[in-house]
Amino acid sequence: MGSNSTVAKNTLFLYTRTLVTVGVSLYATRIVLATLGVVDFGVYNVIGGFVAMFTFLTSTMSAASTRFFAFELGKGDLDSQRHVFKVTFTIYLILIAAILLIAETVGLWVVAKVLVIPPERMTAAMAVYQYSVLSMIFSILRIPFNAAFIAHERMGFFAYTSVIESVLKLLIVFLLVWIPLDKLELYAALTAIVTGAITAVYWLAARKFSECRVGIEVSGDKMREILSYSGWNLFGNFGDIFVDQGMNILLNVVFGPVVNAARGIAYNVKSILINFVTGFQMAAQPQITMHYASGRLSQMDRLVLQTSKLSFLLMLVLTVPAFFCAEWVLRIWLPEVPPYSVLFTRLLMIEILFLSMGGTFHMAINATGHISRFIIYLTLPKILCFGLAYAGLKFCNFPPEYVIWLCILSSLLCAGIKFAYYRKFFYNDFISEISPVIVRETIVLCSAAAVTAVFWFTVFDSASTVSVLATSSAGFIVAAGLCYTIGLNSDERDAINRMIISRLPGK
Number of Cβ within 10 Å of residue 32's Cβ equals 19
Q: Residue 50: is its pLDDT beyond 50?
A: yes
Which tens digit of pLDDT belongs to each residue from 89-110?
888 888 888 888 988 888 888 8
User: 75 burial class (0-12, 13-18, 19+ CB within 10 angstroms)?
Assistant: exposed
Go through the chain and tell me how many residues it has: 507
pLDDT of 391: 92
pTM, full prediction: 0.67
**Using 50, 70 and 90 to split pLDDT, how confident is the model at 1?**
very low
Nearest to 153 by CA among 274, 276, 279: 279
Q: Residue 218: is its pLDDT beyond 90?
A: no
pLDDT of 244: 75
User: 397 burial class (0-12, 13-18, 19+ CB within 10 angstroms)?
Assistant: exposed
Nearest to 421 by CA among 380, 370, 355: 370
Number of Cβ within 10 Å of residue 15's Cβ equals 17
Q: Residue 417: is its pLDDT beyond 80?
A: yes
pLDDT of 343: 92
Task: Read off the pLDDT of each residue in 395-403 and give the average, rounded to a whole number.
Answer: 89
Give the N- to C-terminal CA distance of the chain in Å, as an integer. Answer: 21
- Assess contact for 425 and 292: CB atoms under 8 A: no
pLDDT of 219: 67
**Using 50, 70 and 90 to split pLDDT, how confident is the model at 432?**
low
Separation between Cα atoms, residue 461 and residue 32, nearest integer Å: 28
The chain-wide mean pLDDT, for the chain, equals 79
Q: Residue 455: is its pLDDT beyond 90?
A: no
Interacting residues of 196 by C-beta distance below 8 A, sequence separation 6+: 134, 135, 138
Q: Residue 462: is its pLDDT beyond 60?
A: no
Q: Residue 82: is its pLDDT beyond 80?
A: no
Nearest to 132 by CA among 55, 237, 80, 37: 55
pLDDT of 103: 85
Task: Read off the pLDDT of each residue in 244-262 and give the average, rounded to a whole number.
Answer: 83
Separation between Cα atoms, residue 359 and residue 310, nearest integer Å: 12
Which tens digit of pLDDT belongs to each residue from 360-396?
888 888 777 777 788 888 888 888 888 898 899 888 8
Nearest to 474 by CA among 442, 441, 440, 447: 447
Which tens digit of pLDDT belongs to each residue from 271-293?
878 877 776 777 777 778 777 87
